């Protein structure tokens, strides 16, 4: 009984942990400690924070196994060094910051459950440049962690002309082009997103093979039979099933005969109650979109079939996500 009560109460205060991580990242604790350990008072002085409060935060980060403490000196643990230091290959700080940005939506969850509608205000629907950058860099962080297994499961050598639909920061198009030197790719998205994509493309030195095209795939048709592969990564969870079928039909027209569509997304199991992250992500889509949700593998396969695709198969990337591939015959 005590174990059950502890479990329940920890669910109640779990957001304390999140706020400690947000504070550690955004105040710059991990960046400050990247070159070595420091005393609490020095950390507070360098951060410009209250010494007593800083000590409390540092101790909480130790409790979360993100810092070590020895003789009142603090240093990053391997987890923090790998994921929370800017410039590290696996940096996830932008992702953490984006999750913090979502806090204002999640505190209105009960409102969304009562109304069945998004809590995003009309003014918030207008793109704020900083929030766009926060989101795009967060997606870049996430994609960098997924791209190796996606490339392994997909096999990109046969592709010559790729469309990365709603490609955001262009992370997948860049990685696929790096893996396949004979491929050219187009990242198709809204203008504010592509400003950031072009920065990553330039950083990778691929301006000659990875280009961008401004467009709205909900309102505009795609070039017909212009590509032999179309990647639809983390797009379908934004929309309802009829809209998703419409998007996939446009992709079908954009493909050459024998071309492939690759849908990459989170996938729920048949119960709709697992895995944990996609289940909670459905609520995130309720809060932030008009009709989005996480979907089951069978639903995505059905949409692909309705859009005209054949030879549909699934390859799981991890416990939360998969690529579902279909061919235009």
Mean pLDDT (whole number) for 184-197? 97
pLDDT of residue 124: 60
Residues in the chain, total: 329
CA angle 279, 284, 287 (to 5 degrees): 135
CA distance 131 to 168: 13
Average pLDDT in the 171-199 region? Answer: 97
Q: Does residue 264 register a pLDDT over 90?
A: yes
Tokens representing 71?
């003789």
The per-residue pLDDT for range 301-311, each reduced to its tens digit, is 999 999 999 99
**Please, are residues 301 and 327 in contact by the beta-carbon 8 Å criterion?**
no
pLDDT at 121 over 80: no
67-70 sheet: strands from edge to edge: 38-39, 73-76, 67-70
The pLDDT, as a whole number, for residue 128 is: 81
The answer to whether 101 touches 136, Cβ cutoff 8 Å, is: no
Distance from chain centroid for Cα 192 = 17
Looking at residues 90-115, what average pLDDT do you find?
96
Picking from 31-35, 107-111, 151-155, 235-239, which range would have the lowest pLDDT averaged per residue? 151-155
**What angle, rounded to 10 degrees, do the helices at 51-63 and 14-27 form?**
120
Of all residues in the chain, the percent with pLDDT exceeding 90 is 95
SS (H, E, C) 247-287: HHHHHHHHEEEEEEEEEEEEEECCCCCCCHHHHHHHHHHHH
- Whether the CB-CB separation of 318 and 142 falls below 8 Å is answered with no
Task: Name the CATH code of domain 122-327 (choices 3.40.50.980, 3.40.50.150, 3.30.479.20, 3.40.50.880).
Answer: 3.40.50.150
75 membership: H or E segment, kind and range = strand 73-76
Reading the block at residue 115, the tokens are 């109304």
pLDDT tens profile 201-247: 999 999 999 999 999 999 999 999 999 999 999 999 999 999 999 99
Domain residue ranges of the chain, discontinuous segments joined by +: 2-91, 122-327
Average pLDDT rounded to a whole number, residues 19-25: 98
Per the prediction, the chain carries an average pLDDT of: 96
pTM over 0.85, yes/no: yes
Mapped onto helix, strand or coil, the DSSP state of residue 35 is coil
Tokens 């994509």 belong to 197
3-state secondary structure of 92: coil
Q: Binning pLDDT at 50, 70 and 90, where does residue 125 land?
A: low
| Greatest extent of the chain over all pairs of C-alpha atoms, in Å | 67
Exposed, middle or buried by CB within 10 Å (0-12, 13-18, 19+), for 84?
Answer: buried
pLDDT of residue 63: 98
Proportion of the chain above pLDDT 70, given as a percent = 98
Mean pLDDT of 125-141: 86
Domain 2-91 in CATH 1.20.1250.20? The answer is no
């Amino acid at each position: 009984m005590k174990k059950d009560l502890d479990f329940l109460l920890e669910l109640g205060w779990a957001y304390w942990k999140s706020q400690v991580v947000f504070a550690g990242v955004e105040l710059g604790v991990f960046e400050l400690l990247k070159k070595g350990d420091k005393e609490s008072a020095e950390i507070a002085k360098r951060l410009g924070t209250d010494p007593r409060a800083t000590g409390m935060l540092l101790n909480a980060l130790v409790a979360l196994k993100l810092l070590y403490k020895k003789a009142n000196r603090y240093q990053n643990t391997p987890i923090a060094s790998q994921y929370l230091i800017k410039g590290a290959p696996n940096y996830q700080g932008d992702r953490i910051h984006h999750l913090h940005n979502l806090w204002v939506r999640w505190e209105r969850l009960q409102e969304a459950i009562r109304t069945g509608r998004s809590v995003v205000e009309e003014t918030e629907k207008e793109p704020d440049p900083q929030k766009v950058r926060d989101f795009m860099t967060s997606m870049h962080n996430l994609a960098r962690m997924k791209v190796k297994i996606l490339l392994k499961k997909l096999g990109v050598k046969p592709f010559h002309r790729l469309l990365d639909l709603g490609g955001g920061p262009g992370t997948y198009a860049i990685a696929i082009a790096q893996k396949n030197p004979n491929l050219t790719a187009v990242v198709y998205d809204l203008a504010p997103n592509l400003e950031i994509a072009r920065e990553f493309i330039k950083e990778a030195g691929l301006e000659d093979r990875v280009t961008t095209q401004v467009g709205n795939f909900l309102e505009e048709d795609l070039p017909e039979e212009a590509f032999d592969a179309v990647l639809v990564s983390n797009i379908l969870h934004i929309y309802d099933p009829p809209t998703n079928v419409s998007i996939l039909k446009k992709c079908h027209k954009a493909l050459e005969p024998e071309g492939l569509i690759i849908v990459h997304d989170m996938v729920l199991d048949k119960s709709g109650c697992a895995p944990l992250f996609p289940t909670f992500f459905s609520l995130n889509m309720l809060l932030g979109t008009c009709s989005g949700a996480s979907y089951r593998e069978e639903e995505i396969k059905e949409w692909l079939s309705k859009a005209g695709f054949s030879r549909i198969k699934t390859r799981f990337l991890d416990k939360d996500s998969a690529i579902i591939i279909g061919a235009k015959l």
